[in-house]
């Protein structure tokens, strides 16, 4: 137990040291957690915080409360109440923290790992009654419920027997055809175009722009290749795609590293460099359109007609 506590303390200190310089994060009640227990994540900064963005891809944890706290003389901060859903070691992802004043930078918390202790052994399947069933006060006898059910059935039959009317057959309305599902590359391309239209670079929001630029490619990799890229570091993604063998893996790694330099290393690339990377991402996504068309052409004619029907 002492070794586990020491390991948890080291992990907590590592999270504080590696977190975004603008954010001070700390954990409460994170010792000896089991499934269903609650612990708290506190987020503070030297300036007032406005919003914490929790990703939709969160699976091993449930954030049940995001509380914004304002105290006299102190900038507004957040207290998140989190519940683990699965036993074992699990990683909590980075969160985006937005300031009240747009002049302050958008910050990101650091990921941390927590050990969730199982409440019982996997081989233990014994079910034990806690206590004998009790009779509620003023509980009616069983025959009264049966009588009420019989009366309800009789009333329903009489209602339909005397109150039925001839109804004209309802016209069957044609079911509208479902909207075609967009492929992953097209969804990512639409998000890239929307990001370019926002023109964050002209507003000196370099970190935010490259964070969302990296997010578009990570999300595409997650849906296209079934890799949890949104919860991985760039190094972890590099290891994963080397095993899967995705299209242009070296160029993908170079793109993610470029975005990381702008997000974490305070590197401010020139607008021309960023535009070149955006153009690469656009061409990378359009390459999947060509692959999709080639697959369609290689299908037998009967399969193509069946898909159209």
Instruction: Render each residue's pLDDT in the chain as its tens digit; 309 residues.
Output: 556 555 554 444 444 444 456 789 999 988 889 988 999 999 999 999 999 999 988 888 999 999 999 988 899 999 999 999 989 889 999 999 999 998 899 999 999 998 988 876 656 555 555 666 667 677 777 888 898 889 999 888 888 777 665 566 667 777 776 767 889 888 998 999 999 899 888 888 888 988 999 999 999 999 988 889 888 998 898 888 888 888 888 999 999 999 988 888 778 888 899 899 999 999 998 888 888 888 878 776 555 454 443
On whether the CB atoms of residues 15 and 44 are closer than 8 A, the answer is: no
pLDDT score, position 309 = 38
On whether the CB atoms of residues 43 and 77 are closer than 8 A, the answer is: yes
In 3D, which of 77, 66, 64, 103 has the Cα closest to residue 24?
Answer: 77
pLDDT score, position 295 = 80
The tokens describing 176, both together, are 């509208």
- List Cβ neighbours of 73 (8 Å cut-off, separation of 6 or more): none
Residues of the chain by 3-state class (helix, strand, coil), percent to 5:
45, 20, 35
Task: Say which residue the tokens 């993604």 belong to.
Answer: 237
Whole-number Å distance between alpha carbons of 184 and 192: 13
Whole-number Å distance between alpha carbons of 238 and 232: 10
Q: Where are the domains of the chain?
A: 2-116, 184-304
Whole-number Å distance between alpha carbons of 106 and 112: 20
Positive/negative CA dihedral, 77, 81, 84, 89: positive
pLDDT score, position 127 = 54
The DSSP secondary-structure symbol of 120 reads S
pLDDT score, position 73 = 86
Strands (E), the chain: 24-28, 39-44, 49-53, 61-71, 74-84, 88-92, 96-99, 107-108, 112-116
The tokens describing 273, both together, are 């460099």
Distances (CA, A) of 228 to 57, 194, 215, 218, 281: 9, 24, 12, 8, 19
In this structure, the strands spanning 49-53 and 88-92 are unpaired
- Strand partners for 44: 24
pLDDT score, position 65 = 94
pLDDT score, position 81 = 95
Find the Cα–Cα–Cα–Cα dihedral 293, 196, 226, 304, rounded to 10°. -20
Assign a CATH topology to domain 2-116: Immunoglobulin-like (2.60.40)
Task: Say which residue the tokens 């503070």 belong to.
Answer: 44
On whether the CB atoms of residues 256 and 214 are closer than 8 A, the answer is: yes
On whether the CB atoms of residues 52 and 78 are closer than 8 A, the answer is: yes
Three-state secondary structure call for residue 180? coil
The tokens describing 201, both together, are 């670079």
């Amino acid at each position: 137990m002492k070794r586990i506590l020491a390991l948890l303390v080291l992990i907590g200190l590592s999270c504080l040291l590696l977190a975004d310089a603008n954010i001070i994060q700390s954990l409460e009640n994170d010792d000896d957690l089991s499934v269903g227990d609650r612990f708290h994540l506190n987020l503070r900064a030297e300036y007032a915080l406005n919003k914490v963005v929790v990703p939709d891809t969160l699976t091993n944890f449930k954030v049940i409360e995001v509380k914004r706290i304002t105290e006299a003389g102190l900038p507004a901060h957040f207290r998140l109440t989190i519940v683990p859903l699965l036993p074992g070691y699990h990683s909590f992802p980075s969160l985006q923290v937005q300031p009240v004043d747009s002049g302050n930078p958008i910050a990101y918390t650091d990921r941390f790992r927590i050990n969730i202790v199982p409440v019982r052994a996997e081989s233990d399947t014994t079910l034990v009654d806690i206590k004998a069933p009790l009779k509620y006060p003023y509980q009616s006898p069983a025959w009264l419920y049966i009588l009420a059910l019989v009366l309800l059935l009789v009333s329903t039959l009489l209602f339909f027997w005397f109150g039925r009317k001839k109804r004209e057959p309802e016209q069957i309305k044609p079911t509208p055809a479902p909207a075609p599902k967009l492929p992953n590359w097209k969804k990512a391309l639409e998000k890239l175009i929307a990001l370019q239209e926002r023109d964050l670079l002209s507003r000196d929001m370099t970190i935010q722009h490259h964070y969302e630029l990296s997010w578009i490619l990570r999300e595409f990799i997650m849906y296209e290749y079934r890799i949890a890229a949104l919860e991985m570091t760039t190094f972890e993604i590099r290891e994963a795609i080397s095993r899967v063998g995705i299209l242009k893996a070296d160029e993908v790694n170079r793109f993610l590293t470029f975005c990381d330099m702008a997000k974490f290393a305070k590197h401010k690339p020139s607008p021309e460099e960023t535009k070149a990377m955006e153009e690469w991402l656009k061409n990378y996504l359009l390459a999947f359109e060509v692959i999709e068309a080639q697959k369609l052409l290689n299908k037998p004619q009967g399969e193509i007609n069946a898909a159209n029907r």
